[in-house]
Structure 1
Amino acid sequence: MFDAVARARPIADPLLPRLTHAADHGLLWWGVAGLLGVTRGRRRRAAGRGLLALGLASAVTNGPAKAIFRRGRPATHAVPLVRRPRRDHSTFSFPSGHSASAAAFATAVALDAPGAAVPVGALASLVAFSRVYVGVHYPSDVVAGAALGAACAFATTKVLPRRSWAPARGRPAPAEVSSLPEGDGLVVVVNESSGAGARFGQPSGVAAPIRSLLPLAKVIEVGPGDDLEAALDDAAASARVLGVAGGDGTVNAAAERALAHGLPLAIFPTGTLNHFAADLGLGAGIVGIADTVRALREGSAVAVDVGRFDGTRPEGTSFDGVFLNTASVGGYAHLVAVRERLEKRLGKWPAMVVALSWVLRNEPPIDVTIIADEPLVGTRPPTPVGPTRPRLARPAGARRAASGERRRLWLAFVGNGIYHPPGFAPTYRERLDERMLDLRLVDGTVPLARTRLVAAVLTGRLRRTPVYEQRAATRIEITAVAAARGRARGRVPSMPFARDGEVTGRARRLMITPNGARLVVFRPR
């Protein structure tokens, strides 16, 4: 087969030699990942998985695989000179590293973004064929490399499980929710500071399409120097339906006003990540605007759970609020901030690993007591991950933990609803109507806790490490406790607290529960 390709008439000179050179060191796939990364949703996640698979395939192929088989390169005297590469290859031939990288990246992209699988797969196939065409590999090298690369792509699902893109389940909305074909009664507050473009002084540009699609709606644009909270208060006081355009933090603020005034909420997701909108099934950018407009015209809405927290600050003052996605204490808030800064360049999963390593190295553990109420028998809690600690929650059927357990933690995560996957990178929810909290803890007392946690995340063995725990709860109470050194100095114990990715200061005590009232949100049928 190699001889037949070598003696064949020119097929794609000089395209294939240039293509095979562009794939050296994975540079071609880094470029494709960059193009996918500028989009949102599935393709951005696919780019991150593709780079992870690319790195794994390159390490396995160019390391142990070539060293084991040690096959020499084919003779190139029959290959036309115009096709041959400019440099001689001193490495072994079996399996093909270029083919492994191409197949790993293409397969990984197909796992998360089937719509991009055809063009990326076609490009990968051309790269694999070009290795035979330019005379540096036998066909069996290419086939073996492609098989190894595909296997590496599937191996990434052990540490980065595939997410479901189906909308999360919600309760049917009340019958009084009506359609707004022209937007009459809708007041939309647009946060021009949301989204990636705001970092470069660019407005979101969503006010114009909203006005065009919903001509009777009132649209209020809030710039960087304006008071977003006051604009939301004014909008809620005069609206029949409160609308908001922004990211998760902006949507959180609007949800508080919608609950306080008993209003349905229309979300136009224009932030960077839009976690809550993604779980609702709304697209990002202009797609998300179209989804919400369609839902308003149809009068289609669902009722979803909202988490609630009541806390006490170190100085003794009380505070409260709601959260749509997550609340956290300890280093999780800093972890999210570091990850968001890095994930556009590295992808979400590599950024998560780097952020985790940074937080565990620089963030001190916190001393707390925890009381967690388990769900009643007959509810649907997730399978516990990590070691079972009976003192934190009684066996199934118990209503409350008997007393608070003293713990030293690196961080604690509380999700509004049960998040998936069950590992360390919670990504999506299948339901928004089960009135349960997802509690995840990273223990700070286990020997070599930080090293063991990072190793477990990288190897997909989080279920077996004693550092990490996960369980469902219906009420969680966390109280900061002074360490021995703090008691000696008379310090008031406190812990960093964040909700929906926004750091809100420090707290001495927190009570977290599902909110009694459900939030009504528009989304298409």
Structure 2
Amino acid sequence: MLRRRRARDAQVTPQSAARAAADVVLPHTITSGARAGLRRSRRSLRPVGRLDRRLTTAIGRLPRSSVDDAMLALTRSANHSGLWFATASVLVAGSRRTRRGAMRGLMAIGLASLAANGLLKPLVPRRRPAADLLPVERALPDRPTSSSFPSGHSASAMAFAVGVAMESPRTGLVLAPLAATVAYSRVHVGVHWSSDVAVGSVLGAGVALLTRRWLPVRPIDEAVARPWAGAPELVDGDGLSMVVNSGSGRPGTDPVEEIAEALPKAHLVRLDPGDDLMALLREAADHPGTQALGIAGGDGSVAAAARMAEDLDLPLAVMPAGTLNHFGRDVGVYDLQEVVDATGSGEAVAVDIGELQAYSASTGPAGGERVVFVNTASFGGYPEMVRERERWEDHWGKWPAASAALIRTLVRARPIRCRIDGDTTAVWMLFVGNGPYAPSGMAPSYRPRLDSGLLEVRYLRADRRFSRARAVVGLLLGTLGHTRTYVEHTATTLDVELLDGPVEVATDGEVMVAGERLCFSVADHPVPVYRRDESRWPERTSPW
């Protein structure tokens, strides 16, 4: 009785419902010409409206079942992307691929929500399906009042699923049916037309693909490097002397005990707070029978060990266990098992080492201090930007954190006058990479190669009008590489003179030296670093 009264009061007919399905509400503020154009567009969309009407009517005639309750629960779980945030928290605890997929998926959700709810819904107001078209027990009781076009739930669902699939295809295949079901649920509970869902889904997928503009998909998990045939086989760690940072590793786990269990024949030296790292590395290298040097710690510790290994012509085994592990990720060593496999089979690759000679006004050409870096060296606002990004990226994701960190750093930075390879300029920040980095024109993220013999130089010029604003806009739009304030090139050497006195230089995340003249180069001889040949260990590859 109630349903018949509601239908009679609303005077819903097949013709009026079809018109409502394609109806765009015309604001009174638009001009008569624009109004006429919108009416023509509405007439051209009437076939779509009729199809929407038929599909919604067919769904309304389905018999009552437990599917109705499941659809109501599912569509509510996706409100404000709650379902996808919960899924992302699970993926973050998985493999490195799923972690990257979760970050990209959340980034895609943010952009898709902005496009669907912030732009298209206000621009294209559309009436939602009438409540009379579905049984009362199936319809969503708390119906939205915003425009029906497009479906924001569908956009977010597909954005997340496609974003995850770009990093972890197998996980994406698992999520795709769930995302499609969430999209369908919006029609099943009567709050969207099928065309709203279709457009929202296409929008979400397109936005996820667009994230490659700011965050390129890393094609491989490890950088390319030529194999090193002379690395000794260290079965069970026999012949390996490793310095282990006692404060690294998983919380509640003593890394020394864990490594000793995995490599029972290795000679381990504990590094406690306040200890002299270089002295302990020398002690480890001098241990009788040492054939390779090892380090368990972050990038700063790895750089010190690489310098010692280079000086003594020893191969290096790296166990990433610190706050910053960019070198381990680029090499392709992610856990202790990979160290065990690589050292036991003698599998290693050649890795370039960057050098920095810093001079002051009181020292001559031979008086410069030599610093070795395995990842990057930088001065100006770049070290501060890295610290800010590392502090925020676990919560925001790498690209949003990098953007926010760059903006904050540029606001507080001061121009640094310098002479770069003889050309006088002023910069906000300068970055030198031990090898070419990707992506180009954005915040450097990873290295495709480890043995190029080149340095990558990037800096933001401060001698252009509105250089700060242009840099920020370029970063946000993904066009930084095309602005005249941004310079990027590769070189075998780099000579920088600081015209206003010495500046501090950070290498591998730590401030190491200050100087008035900085000479960067690549070391003459690469360092062999143990890395497992994945083609020989197919059973250990990630299922994701």
Q: 1:507 aligns with which of 515, 519, 529?
A: 515
TM-score of the two chains, using structure 1 as the length reference: 0.85
Aligned pairs for 1:418-497 within 5 A: 418-482=436-500, 493-497=501-505
Question: Which residue is 2:16 aligned to?
Answer: none
Comparing 296-305 and 27-36, the one that deviates more: 27-36
Structure 2 residue 531 is matched with structure 1 residue 523: yes
CA contact (8 A) 2:267 2:284 kept: no
1:422 Cα shift? Answer: 1.0
Aligned residues: 473
Report the Cα offset of residue 368 of structure 1.
Answer: 0.9
Match of 2:350 in 1: 303
Per-residue displacement from partner, 1:90-118 (whole Å, max 9, x unpaired)? 11112101100111111111112223213
Query: What is the match of residue 62 of structure 1?
Result: 117
Structure 2 residue identity aligned to 1:507: G
Decide whether the 8 Å contact of 1:48 with 1:350 is kept in 2.
no
Task: Work out the CA distance in 2 between the residues paired with 1:5 and 1:224.
Answer: 67
Of 130, 145, 158, the residue aligned with 1:90 is: 145
Write the mapping of 1:232-381 to structure 2, written as runs, cut at 5 A: 232-238=281-287, 239-283=290-334, 288-313=335-360, 318-371=368-421
- Matched residue type, 1:274: N
2:76 maps to what in 1? 21
1:377-428 C-alpha deviation (Å, 9 max, x unpaired): xxxxxxxxxxxxxxxxxxxxxxxxxxx1111100111111111221222122
CA RMSD of aligned residues (A): 2.1
Secondary structure class of the residue paired with 2:120: helix
Q: Give 1:162-201 correspondences, 5 Å limit.
A: 162-175=217-230, 177-194=231-248
Residue 272 of structure 1, CA deviation: 4.0
Q: Read off the aligned partner of 1:418 and give its amino acid letter.
A: P
The 3 A distance-change label for structure 1 pair 17 and 166 is same
Once residues 211 and 464 of structure 1 are traced to their aligned partners in structure 2, the CA distance between those partners, rounded to angstroms, is 51
- 2:348 and 2:423 mapped to 1: Cα distance? 41
Partner amino acid for 2:518?
Answer: L
Work out whether 1:3 is the aligned partner of 2:61. Answer: no
Q: Which amino acid aligns with 1:91?
A: S
- 2:286 partner SS: helix
Letter in 1 for 2:79: D
Structure 1 residues 406 and 219 mapped into 2: Cα distance closer, same or farther (>3 Å)?
same
* Contact kept? 1:184, 1:216, Cα under 8 Å: yes
Confirm whether residue 219 of structure 1 aligns to residue 257 of structure 2: no
Name the aligned partner's letter for residue 56 of structure 1: L
Partners in 2 of 1:95 and 1:114 — Cα distance? Answer: 27
Shift of 1:314: 7.2
Aligned to 1:374: none
Query: Per the alignment, in what secondary structure is the counterpart of residue 232 of structure 2?
Result: coil
Q: Distance in 1 between matches of 2:242 and 2:68?
A: 56
**% of aligned pairs identical?**
41
- Which range moved further: 321-330 or 237-246? 237-246
CA shift in 2, pair 1:322/1:69, >3 Å? same
Supply the distance in 1 between the matched residues of 2:213 and 2:417 (Cα, whole angstroms): 32
- Per the TM alignment, residue 39 of structure 1 is displaced from its structure 2 partner at its CA by 4.8
Cα deviation digits, residues 213-238 of structure 1 (max 9, x gap): 32211223333354433322211221
CA distance, structure 2, for counterparts of residue 314 and residue 336 of structure 1: 29
Report Cα offsets for 1:214-263 as digits up to 9, x if no partner: 22112233333544333222112213211111221121111111112221
Partner residue in 1 for 2:22: none
| Aligned-partner residue type, residue 80 of structure 2 | H
**Which residue does 1:392 correspond to in 2?**
none
* 1:42-79 CA distance string (max 9 Å, x none): 33332222222111111111133223442211122353
1:144-163 Cα offsets, whole Å, 9 max, x none, are 11001111111111122222
Do the aligned partners of residues 432 and 143 (structure 1) sit closer, same or farther apart at CA in structure 2, a change above 3 Å counting?
same
Query: Could you state the TM-score of these two structures normalised by the residue count of structure 2?
Result: 0.82
What is the identity, as a one-letter code, of the residue corresponding to 2:169?
A: P
| Partner Cα distance (1:365, 1:217) in 2 | 50
Q: Which amino acid aligns with 1:181?
A: V
* TM-aligned CA deviation for residue 480 of structure 1: 0.9
| Larger proportion of helix | 2
1:367–1:406: 8 Å Cα contact kept in structure 2? yes
Listed one character per residue, the Cα deviations across residues 120-175 of structure 1 (whole Å, up to 9, x for unaligned) are: 32332222122122211122211111001111111111122222225322233253
CA–CA separation in structure 2 for the residues paired with 1:115 and 1:272: 29
In the alignment, does 2:129 pair up with 1:74? yes
Separation in 1 of the partners of 2:514 and 2:90? Answer: 40
CA distance in 1, matches of 2:83, 2:414: 41
**Does 308-317 or 213-222 show the bigger shift?**
308-317
Question: What is the one-letter code of the residue matched to 2:369?
Answer: F
Structure-2 separation of matches of 1:298 and 1:221: 25
Higher-RCO chain (CA-CA 8 Å, sequence separation at least 6) = 1
Per the alignment, do residues 94 and 174 of structure 1 end up closer, same or farther by CA in structure 2, a change over 3 Å counting? same
Q: Which letter maps to 2:175?
A: V
Give the 3-state SS of the residue equivalent to 2:199 in structure 1: helix
Name the residue aligned to 1:110.
165
Instruction: Measure, in 2, the Cα distance between the counterparts of 1:451 and 1:304.
Output: 38
Q: Which runs of 5+ in 2 are unaligned?
A: 1-54, 534-544
SS at match of 2:235: coil
2:283 pairs with 1:228: no
Does the 8 A contact of 1:104 with 1:150 survive in 2? yes
In the aligned structure 2, how far is the partner of 1:323 from the partner of 1:335?
Answer: 18
Letter of the structure 2 residue corresponding to residue 355 of structure 1: A
Counterpart secondary structure, 1:221: strand
Contact 1:164 1:428 in 2 (8 A): no
Unpaired segments ≥5 residues, structure 1: 372-403, 483-492
CA contact (8 A) 1:192 1:203 kept: no
Partners of 1:180 and 1:82 in 2: how far apart? 69
Q: CA deviation at 1:315?
A: 7.3
Cα deviation code 1:281-335 (max 9, x no counterpart)? 222xxxx211121111111111211011110257757421211111111111111
The 1:84–1:504 alpha-carbon spacing in structure 2 relative to 1, beyond 3 Å, is farther
Tell me the CA shift for residue 265 of structure 1: 0.6
Structure 2: distance between partners of 1:497 and 1:100: 45
Equivalent AA in structure 1 for residue 409 of structure 2: V
Q: Distance in 2 between matches of 1:274 and 1:83?
A: 52
Cα displacement string for residues 12-57 of structure 1 (whole angstroms, at most 9, x for unaligned residues)? 3533322222222223323333333345633333222222211111
Secondary structure class of the residue paired with 1:369? strand
SS at match of 2:443: coil
Specify the SS of the correspondent of 2:220: coil
The one-letter code matched in structure 2 to 1:467 is T
Tell me: CA distance 1:227–1:58, structure 2 relative to 1, closer, same or farther (3 Å). same
C-alpha distance in 1, partners of 2:232/2:430? 40
For residues 270 and 118 of structure 1, do their structure 2 counterparts lie closer, same or farther at Cα, with a shift above 3 Å needed?
A: farther
